[in-house]
């Protein structure tokens, strides 16, 4: 990598393609552009911003993922004034046990990554198709896969195993954990925020549409709430979180639901949306005075408190909590309610600091420190690409 080179970061979802670009500036990576193509498959729209300025806002007729990516590459080329793209980093949900570090992708690696499609059917195909198309579109430019599972490969085996016969674990049915790039970013900035907590026991609460928590000891993941898929753990915007597996048997056997119906139910119709019948968006639920909305929020908080206690047990104590992602960074009420439920652990928030979303929100002299740290998965990916390219 040379001074002024650009790294492009792509995060492909089922109906969206998020992107950022970073420019190498000395030892730093400066973010230049960020934006997304949203509504792919329905009414796609590409928005790109440079800081607060909108530099592109285009409606794309009938664009599928392939076409959206073509338009995006054209927009990036124009906005980067043909400065060289040194590499492209991709968020890839699943790297299994095999991929423990960011990896430059070629046809052989793509083939190996295809094997994880059944473990992340809603995300992995889009991640891999995007890489495949970029390899065709920008031949010679390194495409680097960064995995959401990789950060959790330090989790001890006892926390990875389900109590199934061992042959299932050998076939890959084990707890992998996700949101790893977010946790890795938070772990990377913690030494500058609280050196003692960074060396000690911290629980990071990544509370967004997808929600999970991670227990860090000395900055390494030792336990996390998501497992084999991104369904386990906390209830989320539209996902169930942990469920008695007996419920699935009942849905199949007694309610005669098909596999795809159950998949849709678990990923898209449940969580805050399912409980409230109103919305998957925490803002809307908190603004509503409907009892169903209140109950959905109560279940979310209750389950978060229980998971926090469980991770504190895995750590054998707690030095700090960090709130991040959409809800964690912006919803003071949810932060406070979870902290209230974890008061027995020694967690107490300073109401004023919490209401103002300050970085340090724990009470002065509190036993457990508390922070709000905006996550930056894209920057984490760009750092990995820069490190790999040297």
Q: State the catalytic residues.
A: 148
Q: Where are the alpha helices (DSSP H) in 194-255?
A: 195-199, 245-253
Residue number with the smallest Cβ distance to ligand ADP: 326
Pairing of strands 320-324, 220-224: unpaired
**Residue 241 binding ligand ADP, by CB under 6 A:** no
Nearest CB to ligand ADP, comparing residues 214 and 222: 214
**Residue 93 binding ligand ADP, by CB under 6 A:** no
**Residue 356 binding ligand ADP, by CB under 6 A:** no
> 71-76 long-range contacts, Cβ below 8 Å, gap at least 24?
71/37, 71/46, 72/17, 72/19, 72/37, 72/46, 73/134, 73/137, 73/138, 75/46, 75/48, 76/8, 76/19, 76/21, 76/33, 76/48
d(CA 205, CA 214): 7
Separation in Å, CA 32 to CA 225, 267, 388 = 34, 34, 21
- Contact set for ligand ADP, span 278-307 (CB under 6 A): 281-283
The residues facing 144 across adjacent strands are 89, 104
Smallest gap, in angstroms, from Cβ of residue 17 to ligand ADP? 13
Nearest CB to ligand ADP, comparing residues 249 and 287: 287
**Residue 338 binding ligand ADP, by CB under 6 A:** no
Smallest gap, in angstroms, from Cβ of residue 331 to ligand ADP? 5
Smallest gap, in angstroms, from Cβ of residue 288 to ligand ADP? 12
Smallest gap, in angstroms, from Cβ of residue 128 to ligand ADP? 20
Q: Are 197 and 366 in contact (CB under 8 A)?
A: no
**Residue 308 binding ligand ADP, by CB under 6 A:** no
**Residue 333 binding ligand ADP, by CB under 6 A:** no
3-class DSSP state of 363: coil
Given 96, 210, 233, 274, the residue binding ligand ADP (CB under 6 A): 210
Nearest CB to ligand ADP, comparing residues 123 and 133: 123
Nearest CB to ligand ADP, comparing residues 87 and 233: 233
d(CA 57, CA 368): 45
Q: Which residues bind ligand ADP (CB under 6 A)?
A: 208-210, 237, 281-283, 325-327, 330-331
């Amino acid at each position: 990598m040379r001074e002024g080179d650009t790294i492009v970061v792509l995060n492909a979802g089922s109906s969206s393609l998020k992107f950022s670009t970073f420019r190498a500036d000395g030892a730093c990576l400066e973010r230049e552009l960020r934006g997304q193509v949203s509504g792919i498959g329905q009414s796609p729209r590409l928005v790109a911003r440079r800081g607060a300025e909108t530099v592109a806002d285009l409606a794309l007729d009938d664009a599928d993922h392939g076409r959206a990516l073509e338009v995006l590459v054209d927009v990036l080329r124009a906005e980067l004034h043909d400065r060289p793209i040194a590499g492209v980093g991709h968020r890839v949900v699943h790297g299994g046990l095999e991929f423990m570090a960011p990896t430059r992708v070629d046809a052989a690696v793509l083939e190996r990554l295809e094997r994880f499609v059944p473990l992340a059917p809603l995300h992995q195909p889009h991640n891999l198709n995007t890489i495949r198309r970029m390899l065709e579109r920008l031949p010679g430019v390194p495409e680097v896969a960064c995995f959401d599972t990789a950060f959790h490969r330090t989790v001890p085996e006892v926390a990875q195993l389900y109590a199934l016969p061992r042959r299932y674990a050998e076939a890959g049915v084990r707890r992998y954990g996700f949101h790893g790039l977010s946790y890795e970013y938070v772990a990377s900035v913690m030494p500058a925020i609280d050196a003692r907590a960074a060396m000690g026991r911290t629980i990071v609460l990544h509370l967004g549409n997808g929600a999970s928590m991670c227990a860090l000891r000395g900055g390494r993941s030792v336990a996390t709430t998501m497992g084999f898929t991104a369904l386990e753990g906390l209830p989320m915007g539209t996902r169930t979180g942990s469920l008695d597996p007996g419920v699935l048997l009942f849905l199949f056997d007694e309610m005669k639901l098909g596999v795809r119906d159950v998949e849709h139910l678990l990923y898209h119709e449940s969580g805050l949306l399912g409980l409230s019948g109103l919305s998957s968006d925490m803002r809307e639920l908190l603004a509503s005075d409907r009892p169903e909305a209140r109950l959905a929020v109560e279940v979310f908080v209750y389950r978060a408190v229980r998971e926090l206690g469980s991770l504190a047990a895995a750590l054998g104590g707690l030095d700090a909590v960090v709130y991040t992602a959409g809800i964690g960074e912006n919803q003071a009420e949810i932060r406070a309610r979870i902290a209230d439920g974890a008061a027995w652990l020694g967690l107490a928030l300073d109401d004023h600091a919490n209401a103002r979303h300050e970085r340090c929100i724990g009470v002065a002299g509190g036993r457990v420190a508390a922070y709000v740290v905006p996550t930056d998965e894209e920057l984490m990916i760009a750092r990995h690409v820069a490190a790999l390219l040297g």
